[in-house]
Amino acid sequence: LSTSSLNKTLRQQYLSLPQGNFCQVTYVWIDGSGEGLRNKTRTMDSEPKSVADLPEWNFAGSSTGQSKGHNSDMLLIPVCMFRDPFLLDPNKLVLCEVLKHTREPAESNHRNSCNKVMEKVKELHPWFGMEQEYTLFGVDGHPYSWPRLGFPKPQGPYYCSVGADRAFGRDIVECHYKACLYAGIKISGTNAELLGIMFWMGYFTSYLKKKAIEKLSKRHAEHIRVYDPHDGEDNKRRLTGRHETSSIHDFSSGVANRGASIRIPRQVGQEKCGYFEDRRPSANCDPYAVTCAMARTCMLEGDEDVHELE
């Protein structure tokens, strides 16, 4: 790409310039695709101490797939603030919810409804952890360091791998890890993986864990529809029952079974308490939509469809 050939040393010279008491605050939000991120930056006269110090903002939703041109303005509502690992202190990154001009949540704003559900179940103390896997691509559009012709060796040597001939792009992984820690993002660890994504969920009691899996088994099809941004179409290509995936058509669970919909770690199976792993969400899922569906099914009584987020 043309940007990769720009002089990064010169860029760093300008980024190192003093900025006085001013603070650059970058607002980040999910666009109309439900997968892409957008951002815009504003200058503040001083460093904000919390989201309460941040004003609402707006953007042209017609350019992000979130509104029509005749009524384009959408609202950005700051909800969480982080240190900026790119521009460094005192600058900030801010996650925002998107609201319509009526102050109703945008269609791609699943955080709003997720927050309401989490408020209802907070006394149960649910724990969620997303394992976000990603693949590095070269400027030629191919996976980074794949053979020019053909395919790499079978996946066995690459899981938790080390070495220049196996852990390709490790510098990027390590930099990403440090950037998350600097920003204040709660990241628990990293390792070289295979391909896919898994979802972890912990409870304090074994009773809830067993009841949760039973409830999930009854709403498999409903969950599949919210486990990727395209109502399950993306997961049709991944959940084939091969390569340590379950079948998209059938619900299954098992101890230490990575080919099941729900994997119960062996230690959890022995101790009868702990967490389980939902292996069905796609790598491009919206974590708010997924955790909302999990909480609704496992912890709220009633027959409401998990796809109805209000």
Q: pLDDT averaged over consecutive 10-residue blocks of the chain (310 residues)?
A: 76 93 97 95 98 97 92 95 97 97 95 96 90 85 85 82 87 92 92 60 48 94 95 95 93 95 92 89 93 94 54
We find that the CATH architecture of domain 17-108 is: Roll (3.10)
Q: What is the pLDDT of residue 73?
A: 95
Calculate the CA 307 to chain-centre distance: 18
Q: Return all residues near 135 (Cβ < 8 A) that are at least 6 apart.
A: 143, 144, 195
Q: Could you please report the per-residue DSSP string of 159-203?
A: TT--STTTSTTHHHHHHHHHHHHHHT----------S--EEEEE-
The answer to whether the CB of 169 falls within 8 A of the CB of 136 is yes
Match 């010279």 to its residue by tokens. 13
Lookup: tokens for 108:
């791609």
Name the fold adopted by 109-133+198-309: Creatine Kinase; Chain A, domain 2 (3.30.590)
* Separation of alpha carbons 205 and 182, rounded Å: 34
Under 8 Å between Cβ of 58 and 77: no
Q: Is the peptide bond before 90 cis (omega within 30 degrees of 0)?
A: yes
Instruction: State which H helix or E strand residue 80 sits in.
Output: strand 73-83
Q: How far apart are CA 156 and CA 166, in angstroms?
A: 11
Determine the Cα–Cα distance for residues 206 and 210; give it in Å rounded to an integer: 6
Q: What is the pLDDT of residue 201?
A: 47
- The full set of domain ranges for the chain reads 17-108, 109-133+198-309, 139-195
Closest Cα to residue 308, out of 289, 286, 291? 289
Which residues lie closer than 8 Å to 27 by C-beta, 6 or more apart? 39, 40, 41, 42, 57, 76, 78, 94, 96
pLDDT confidence of residue 139: 81
DSSP assignment of 196-263: --EEEEE-S-HHHHHHHHHHHHTTHHHHHHHSSTTTTTTTTTT-BS-SS--BTT---EEET-TTSSEE
Can you give the pLDDT at residue 310? Answer: 43
- The predicted structure's pLDDT at residue 309: 43
User: Strands 198-202 and 127-131: what pairing?
Assistant: antiparallel
Beta bridge partners of 58: 75
β-bridge mates for residue 54, sequence order: none
Query: Distance from first CA to last CA of the chain, Å, rounded?
Result: 42
Tokens of 199: 């979802």
Residue 302, pLDDT score: 57
DSSP 293: H
Q: pTM for the complete prediction? A: 0.87
- CA–CA dist 209, 276 (Å, integer): 7
Predicted local confidence at residue 15, as pLDDT:
92
